[in-house]
Structure 1
Amino acid sequence: MGLARQIEKNWYGRVLGNAWLLPLVPLVWLVVTLKRRRFLRNPPAASAIPVVVVGNITVGGTGKTPLITYLVARARALGFNPAIVSRGYGGNGQYPLLVNDETPVSACGDEPKLLASRLNCPVAVDPQRARAVAELAGKADLIFSDDGLQHYAMARQREIVVVDASRGFGNGWLLPAGPLREPVSRIDSVDLVLANGRDFRVSATALVNAKTGEVCDLATLNNTTVHAVSGIGNPQRFYDTLTELGARVVAHAFPDHHAFAEQDFDFPQASAGMVVMTEKDWVKCRSFAQPDWWYLAVDAQPAAQAAARIDELLLSLKRF
């Protein structure tokens, strides 16, 4: 196991495994605390369009992308014209960048490309998120920021923190000894905390052919060997979903936001089986996808109480 993976494993175990990193924690605490205090003393000027940040205080995947998909659909149902801003992790385009069908993933990043193609709403990418917000003037009346909770240069009207119910806050320590970007007390200041696995669940809705777009029944996976390919922050949830659907999973985990190439799929012939990936990974592989490659489409399904709280938060922005 590589050093980085061992450190991450210890984030969700005993902090003593990362004891050698503990001297760096006070420095991280000082930086994040001063950054937060500076924002509270001198907040950026409010944008003309209300911004809802959907972020987390831990490193790694918590289910933000499917939740944002739900939030956009729900905002539309409530009469909003929503849009999305993103840092565009892994992208190298000219910013600010409005994502469209012709925008390559290499320019905008995987999550913005997925959200734009899935939702057909304006998606603006810029490492300076405030500039992305400004780019959407006249194109929307509500903006969701995909991540960016700690990007204090961007004004926001509401904050939603997403937590993985199974992993929680790990060992409870700040980076690099633990997975926290900010102290756990930060959630006391946000407007809504949603736990993936309790307040909402990310459920598979379809198995889609990566090359043709053919939709196949999920029952196809039952008693089938699949090469489960993932380049996401918390791949175990993806593998567990496939297992629950009856698949025999051969896991192929790559780093989060991995830039896939054809050779990444050169699996041993002795372990034949269909290839199944996440939708976020598919957008990076669609140009060289093969007929036996598939992706799992998923949606966030909130519990009744969480859905009511989401509606209340969104409707509170009608006055802006």
Structure 2
Amino acid sequence: MRVDLHTHSNVSDGTEAPAAVVAAAAAAGLQGLALTDHDTTAGWDEAIVAAVEHGIMLLPGMEITTLTENGISVHLLSYLHDPAHPGLSAAMSEARDGRLNRARRIAERLSVDFPLTWETVEQHVSVGATVGRPHLADALVGIGVVADRQEAFDHMLHAGSPYYVSQHNMHPTTAIRLVRAAGGVPVLAHGMASARGRTVSTEQLEEMVEAGLAGVEVHHRDNPESGRKVLRDLARAHDLLVTGSSDYHGTGKANLIGENTTDEQTVQALCELATGFEPIRP
């Protein structure tokens, strides 16, 4: 059994509808997937219908962006939480508002040097989707400033760019506790992706475990082998789940659905930890 536990649809920064992501997983020969759009569960209903149609297992989830006290971005995957949980729902609503305001401010800065308007950006955002920098990148591609998303991030949207605007995010331990309170299973996403920027220390990882971290995404293309060892050692020391995922974004990234997967035993253990929502089984 092969399950891809990290995928995105156009409900956040992927390029395909939730049903199309499910169909892509089925076409790739996977037995299951998790839909983990940024800060939202808006794609769950469509994905559930598609999972039943294709006879494939679905773990509805979400990806939450957090920030440590020393400014390191940490992404947390939440699986099978209660989508109506008041605390988590309120935090995600605040996060989406923050993303929108940040995107508007970045667009304003870009508009000084490029013929970019907010209306242009909106053309690349699906109705109700969580807005993020990838949509700004798509708008820049659309007006011919860059060739693709990667070029936009390399030259204009990275943290050191004059167009960049930081965003306030909750602390990783706060997010972990909220996910647990909502009956979900919190797993650290691509935690040693050093090419993306600074990564957390061993002490910070230990703090996350103490807060209730249930697993670590080890098998991800952005984790170097040295980082994977750090995560495997952490998992071994604390009996954490070890997962593998693609971080699929459709055509938004080179990542291929199913390029890394999680085994049946681990998926079953993850499901048994959840109390907020039931997995969709064929």
Q: What is the TM-score when the length of structure 2 is the normalising length?
A: 0.32
- The structure, 1 or 2, with the larger RCO (C-alpha pairs under 8 Å, 6+ apart) is 2
Higher helix share: 2
